Amino acid sequence: MPDPLLEARGIVKSFGRVRALRGASFAVYPNEVVALVGDNGAGKSTLVKTLAGVHQPDAGEIVFEGRPVEIHSPLDARSLGIETVYQDLALAAELDAGANMFLGHEVMRPGLLGHLGFIDKSAMRARSREAFQRLGVALQDTSAPVATMSGGQREGIAVSRAVTWASKVV
């Protein structure tokens, strides 16, 4: 069996007097789909947020591709190829599906307009439609604000965004 792609070893995390993780360990292997299951308050979200760089572990080790790493922020995780779909989906309700897909990855218009900071919304919408179609996410209108969409459509956008930008782990 190959080495784990991402591994948490003995992760401890406390918030004041509350000990959210007490030596949690977790491993994901290449091309593997893993479910993290547990009771409310068991520390699932805390572990995921620790692996995503939102929280820093008090103790323990994170190993990525066989080497120990420190993930200080979601940008650190992203640079490793790790994307996260959070429970709250982390979508901007007033923006459309394409803008949400490209949050933090905006496509600039070509030429001078791009250098001046103008975003290419039509390119982002077109690429988003392709991603949604490829992943089987059905949206009637990708230009509608996310606030007008169903919970399932919002989940589809959040998962599509993560899958589109993750090069290693979602």
Residue 92 lies in a domain: no
Q: Does residue 106 sit within a domain?
A: yes
Residue 9 banded pLDDT, cuts 50, 70, 90: very high
Q: No. of H helices and E strands in the chain?
A: 6, 4
The answer to whether residue 11 scores a pLDDT higher than 90 is yes
* Span 147-166, average pLDDT: 92
Q: Which domain holds residue 76?
A: 6-80
| Domain-terminating residue out of 80, 115, 137 | 80
Same domain for 15 and 72, yes or no, is yes
Encode pLDDT of 47-89 as tens digits.
Answer: 999 999 999 999 999 999 999 999 999 999 999 999 998 887 8
Q: 101 and 67: one domain?
A: no
What Å distances lie between residue 106 and 65, 123, 128, 157, CA to CA? Answer: 28, 10, 12, 16
CATH of the domain at 74: 3.40.50.300
For residue 87, the cross-strand partners are none
Predicted local confidence at residue 90, as pLDDT: 86
Q: Residues 93-128, buried b or exposed e (16+ Cβ, 10 A)?
A: eeebbbbbbbeeeebebeeeeeeeeeebbebbbebb
Domain count, the chain: 2
Q: Is residue 89 part of a domain?
A: no
pLDDT tens digit sequence for 87-133: 878 899 999 999 999 988 899 999 999 889 999 999 998 999 999 99
Give pLDDT, residue 35.
87
Give the chain's largest Cα–Cα span.
54
Distance (Å, whole) CA 62 – CA 13: 13
pTM confidence score: 0.78
Contact 46, 55 (CB under 8 A): yes
Are residues 103 and 66 part of one domain?
A: no
pLDDT of residue 142: 86
What pLDDT, on the 0 to 100 scale, is given for residue 143?
87
Q: Is 53 left (phi over 0), alpha (psi -120 to 50) or beta?
A: left
15-46 per-position pLDDT tens digit: 999 999 999 999 999 999 888 899 998 999 99
